[in-house]
A and B are shown apart, each in its own frame.
Chain A
Amino acid sequence: MKKFLATICAAGLLFTGCGGEKTSSTNDKTFTYGTVAYGVAMENVGTNPHESYSGWSTLRYGIGETLFKFNEHMELEAWLAESFEQVDDFTVKIKINDAAKFSNGKKVDGAAVKKCLEALIANHDRAPRDLKISSIEADGQFVTIKSAEKVPALLNYLSDPYGCIIDVEAGVNDNIVVGTGAYKAVKVTDTQIDLVANENYWGAVKPKMDKVIVKSITDGDTLTMAMQNGELDAVQGLPYSSLQLFSGDNYKISQVETSRVYQAAFNFKTPALQDLNVRRAISMAIDKENFCKVLLNGNGTPAIGAFPANLTFGGDKVHALPYDLDGAKKLLSDSGWNDSDGDGYVDKDGKNLELRWLTYTSRQELPLLAEAAQANLKKIGVKLNVNATDNYKTFLKSGDYDIFSKAIVTAPTGDPEYYFTSHIVPGAVDNAGFYDSEQIATLEDELHNTFGAANRSELAIKMSQQVLDDCALIYASHLRMSFVMKPNVEGFTAHPSDYYEIRPELDKK
């Protein structure tokens, strides 16, 4: 009996001790944030912007800042840079803000920016291709960048997360870099980033939280429950079906349209899909409205083209085919596809119109789109076999697909050229449908040599319309990104770029 009582007392003391420790650590103002967007699968672990997509974490979690940033219309604004001057088609001179400081207290000057950009070009995989920098010169607070060829979107590319300015001389220690952001990383693992306020922050608004903990929780249900039981102050990436659980007064939601689009590319190597009528019929049979309203629980907007309405070259600047099942059936019939054997599927020369829809599951919306499309197309007599696999790259390589559906951020730097060069122009790396259009190639040449946002927008609209006229792809929906937070959280709002999450304004009342 004595032993039993002693054990109980010991356990009691142990728990009391644990409780005391917890109380002392909660004096700090801590913001705990759960996200599905950080992790090895997203290639963004770590905070070194010169590695893969790690710059996204540097920028998202307030560790680093770029020379320019995007406003809510994805237009460029000064950030670390104070101003710029386009000297000629190949040269741009940027003035760095005199007040800018790294988190170690060191001043950000032209020389520091030069070193950082040189390290970026030497180490990063995508940056040299985008920037095409031939030389960088530093002079006091000025940095002059010369390009090997015309790069009209140079400033946009410099605002990509990989363009975060870090103190290269301070090095990278345990995945931690020295940036200029409101917070500095103190511990970085594959599943969590611990941040503390940057006491040397140069911006007008000083960080209001003492600590920020970013937790990678990639399972939507775990994330939902962690938010429900109060473990987290805010979350990003909840399953759409869970959002309704957070609709009361106990939570706040911040939502924004992003340029992430759910698209499906027709494989032009498939004989049946070389017929424009067939591609048009399939496009007209996809019920985008209901997909967004019901399957995405209203967390998406039906897409017309590749770019959303908040961009000057997006939204209804282009026009697509309407949802029209009768029209679709007529187009198929015009091309000789009729249900001659009464099996519910249209056929020609004794063969049913049967297509393979390839997609992957790591984006929860894609299998939903596939299954909705399958039912939609059945209504016009097209048989769709869905292959939703995360091993999709094998199928892409072997060419075993007729339609490939994916999610893609079409304007990550607010400029349209990236999307066209990566997905649309003949021979582009991600041109999964082997779409080959002379008009597109000519327009892309023109875009590549055109300066000025208005002129580039005009060309982007022409190119987007050409893609839609050729019915090379179906654009189903643009993603609406949602942050759910406790009601006492302030200054935590979703941004259309999907970049700036933890900002100096973040506070807990």
Chain B
Amino acid sequence: MKKYFAAAGLLIFIAVFADFLTPFDPYVQDLEGALTPPNSINLLGTDRYGRDVLSRVIIGSQTTLCAALALLAVIASVGSLIGAICGYKGGRLDTFLMRMSDIFLAFPQMVFAIAAAGALGGGLLNAAAALAIIGWTKYARISRGLVLSIRSMPYFDAARMAGSSSIEILFAHVLPNIAGTILVTAALDIGTIIMELAGLSFLGLGAMPPTAEWGAMMNNGRSMLQTAPWVILAPGTAIFITVATFNLLGDKLRDFLGGDRQ
């Protein structure tokens, strides 16, 4: 468990302090030095614009990881809140929002995101918005189910009899009790979100040039797989390591918190 936390922490550290860790300016072009293979100066070589690939992978972690974590924070919190309100209040609001979520859940997530990102136009923000539009539903469903089970608990009735308001009950008793499951779901989702954001960028619907983003970097290097493989392998490996780390962390977290809940 600790080693996974350490690995994830290291990745987040790199993302946060990326500006100070890059050996070269990741955006300065040097066409004379384009497509230089990995060497002692440019450890991962240079891309077709002569930019240092290592610097772009490091700064790309900021774009990819921060965007993924921010997106996840938004969809997990908004989705959970909507689900909790639905579960707590019930009635027409619950029916309306759950049918809405049913509609979104009927679409394959990536297909819907591609369509939405295409309609919104390029850009990382639009790609994130496209994923957010469909991403909240899972959290709403989970939290609603959890709230419905909590509603039958004695402490829930006790809080109501003690005269607590709905908001107090929601924030003091309901949300803390569903937070563990939401957290595990979110941890398992980090990898998926990174893949989806990178996927949209790979399709040209995410990060715009010259933003260093792993998916976009892979797309730019796609036609050079045979002639300059380092251009695509470096961001590809970065995505693989990051997604694997967060998925393993999510698994461990699920085992740990799941055991507690029993």
Contacts and interface: CB of A to CB of B under 8 A. Distances in A.
B174 interface: no
A371 B209 contact: yes
Contacts of B138: none
Contact of A374 (B31, B122, B209, B225): B209
A78 interface: no
A244 interface: yes
A388 B223 contact: no
B254 interface: no
Contact of B223 (A241, A295, A370, A372): A241
B48 interface: yes
Contacts of B226: 224, 242, 245
Interface in B208-248: 208-210, 222-228
Contact of B121 (A239, A294, A386, A387): A387
Most central of A364, A391, A395 by chain B CB within 10 Å: A391
A190 to B, nearest CB: 21
Contact of A370 (B32, B209, B224): B209
A390 interface: yes
B192 interface: no
A295 B210 CA distance: 15
B121 A391 contact: yes
Main secondary structure on chain B at its contact with chain A?
loop
B42 interface: no
A412 B29 CA distance: 35
A361 B204 contact: yes
Interface of A: 220-221, 224, 239, 241-242, 244-245, 287, 290, 293-295, 361, 364, 367-368, 370-372, 374-375, 385-391, 394-395
B118 interface: yes
A242 B32 CA distance: 19
Most central of A294, A390, A394 by chain B CB within 10 Å: A294
B49 A372 contact: yes
B229 to A, nearest CB: 11
Given A295-B48, A372-B29, A375-B28, A241 B208 contact: no
Given A221-B222, A242-B223, A295-B31, A390 B204 contact: yes
Nearest to B123: A387
B34 interface: yes
Contacts, number: 71
A374 B210 CA distance: 8
Contacts of B34: 294-295
A180 B51 CA distance: 53
Contacts of B50: 294
Given A287-B31, A295-B31, 11 more contacts: A239-B223, A242-B226, A290-B32, A371-B210, A372-B29, A375-B27, A375-B29, A386-B210, A389-B121, A389-B204, A391-B122
6 contacts: A241-B224, A294-B34, A295-B49, A371-B49, A387-B123, A388-B209
Contact of B208 (A242, A245, A293, A386): A386
B56 to A, nearest CB: 13
Nearest to B228: A241
A388 to B, nearest CB: 6
A493 to B, nearest CB: 25
A394 B120 CA distance: 10
A241 B48 contact: yes
For the complex of A and B, 9 pairs with smallest distance between CB atoms: A239-B223, A375-B29, A294-B31, A389-B122, A371-B209, A290-B31, A241-B224, A386-B209, A241-B223
Given A294-B34, A295-B31, A220 B223 contact: yes
B227 to A, nearest CB: 5
Given A371-B49, A375-B28, A388 B227 contact: no
B27 to A, nearest CB: 8
Given A242-B227, A372-B29, A391 B118 contact: yes
A386 B226 CA distance: 28
B223 A387 contact: no
Contacts of B49: 295, 371-372, 375
Contacts of B27: 375
Contacts of B208: 385-388
Contacts of B228: 241
B210 A294 contact: no
Nearest to A367: B209
A394 B226 CA distance: 36
B227 A245 contact: yes
Contacts of B28: 375
A446 B195 CA distance: 59
A241 B223 CA distance: 7
A142 to B, nearest CB: 52
A415 B119 CA distance: 38
B115 to A, nearest CB: 12
A78 to B, nearest CB: 42
Nearest to B205: A389
A241 B209 CA distance: 19
Contacts of A368: 48
B121 A395 contact: yes
A224 B48 CA distance: 19
A394 B209 contact: no
Contacts of A287: 31
Interface in B1-51: 27-29, 31-32, 34, 48-50
Contacts of B227: 241-242, 244-245
A90 B49 CA distance: 54
Contacts of A224: 223, 226
A433 B52 CA distance: 36
Given A295-B48, A361-B204, A387 B122 contact: yes
Interface string B110-130: 000000001101110000000
Contacts of A364: 223
A394 B121 contact: yes
A95 B216 CA distance: 57
A242 B48 CA distance: 13
A287 B29 CA distance: 12
A70 to B, nearest CB: 31
B2 to A, nearest CB: 42
A293 B31 CA distance: 9
Nearest to B223: A239
A395 B120 CA distance: 11
A372 B31 CA distance: 9
A187 B34 CA distance: 45
Contacts of A245: 226-227
A361 B222 CA distance: 14
Nearest to A394: B121
Nearest to A243: B227
A142 B31 CA distance: 58
